[in-house]
Amino acid sequence: MNAQILDGIKIRDQIKQELVEQIHDLKAVGITPGLAAVLVGAHPASQIYVRSKVKMCASLGLFSEKAELPAETTTEEVLRLISKLNHREDIDGILVQLPLPPQVDTKRVLLAVSPAKDVDGFHPLNVGNLVSGRLGLVPCTPAGVIEILLRSKIPIQGARAVVVGRSDIVGKPVAMLLLHNHATVTICHSRTRDLPAVAREGDILVAAIGKPAFVTADFIKPGATVIDVGINRLTTPEEIRKIYHHPEEPLQELEHRGQVLVGDVNPEDVRELAGAYTPVPGGVGPLTIAMLMVNTVQAARLRRGMRAVNA
């Protein structure tokens, strides 16, 4: 079977082009959407993520600001910063980069972000809007999954969709979005009986569990569309040999780069069985930051009583 590769980079670039036009139109009426990224401590991966978000803001013509606080910052100090950002007219979106240091109460911080500026879509008000099908800010990775399916002309209406993973950040919201697009949705998790058999019922299979290559051939219905949300780093030859039937190429990559990225789906099994699939890297990942930019522009419009635009 010749599986179709769903190219997240190509879809991200389409969305970016649409955003450039929307931002140009907003600037013409005196509005420059603004994003504030809050970073607490010197977590290396978080610094990389924030840098890439700020860089994309600049490339699109969005205003962005990075608020960096030291690792020993208290919950109250983070809350004071969030309060200031909530009241600033030039900031439309507030992004709190996770994880926060252990002494900071993450739930209190995320709840403190104004729902109108919650570009991650984590606030209970936005979660409620998503569940009830009302207009609001949708979590970025799930929104990216739907964009991939729609723009790749994968039929969602009437399809059986299986989501493996029930996290608040990906599993539950992506299930809701699939339901709103008229799929019949099953959510699976660690307590699901005979998980591979349930997963095999999916015309669309979304894997979001954070376990490298957990989804193998016995989870995949032949011809299904497989969306792999996971990003896992393999750093030893043993890990690679455990996953790949033909490990020569990934072993070379490990030697060259010091790591190999793999999703939650076995990359060799999905190539052989799926009708279409997202690769790792280059699938869902590029869409997450693009949808953050979409949410920032959306927030800028909604906060001013303007009509929402679908990217």
Opening angle at CA 8, ends 234 and 183, nearest 5: 105
Residue 112 CA to residue 174 CA, distance in Å, equals 24
Which tens digit of pLDDT belongs to each residue from 120-179?
999 999 999 999 999 999 999 999 999 999 999 999 999 999 999 999 999 999 999 999
Structure tokens, 161: 């969709």
Domain extents for the chain?
A: 29-117, 140-285
Confirm if 306 and 31 have CB atoms less than 8 A apart. Answer: no
Tell me, what's the pLDDT at 308? Answer: 75
Tell me, what's the pLDDT at 1? Answer: 62
Mean pLDDT per 10-residue interval, the chain, length 311 residues: 91 97 96 97 89 94 96 97 98 96 96 98 96 94 98 98 97 98 97 98 97 97 98 95 94 95 96 97 96 97 84 42
Residue 281 CA to residue 232 CA, distance in Å, equals 10
Q: What is the pTM of this model?
A: 0.94
Which active-site residues does the annotation give?
Answer: 53, 97, 120
Q: Is residue 292 packed enough to be buried (19+ CB in 10 Å), middle (13-18) or exposed (0-12)?
A: buried
Same fold, 29-117 and 140-285: yes
CATH topology of domain 29-117: Rossmann fold (3.40.50)
Residue 41 CA to residue 44 CA, distance in Å, equals 9
Superfamily, domain 140-285: NAD(P)-binding Rossmann-like Domain (3.40.50.720)
Residue 188 CA to residue 199 CA, distance in Å, equals 8
Structure tokens, 201: 């019922």
Distances (CA, A) of 2 to 8, 9, 138, 176: 18, 20, 33, 30
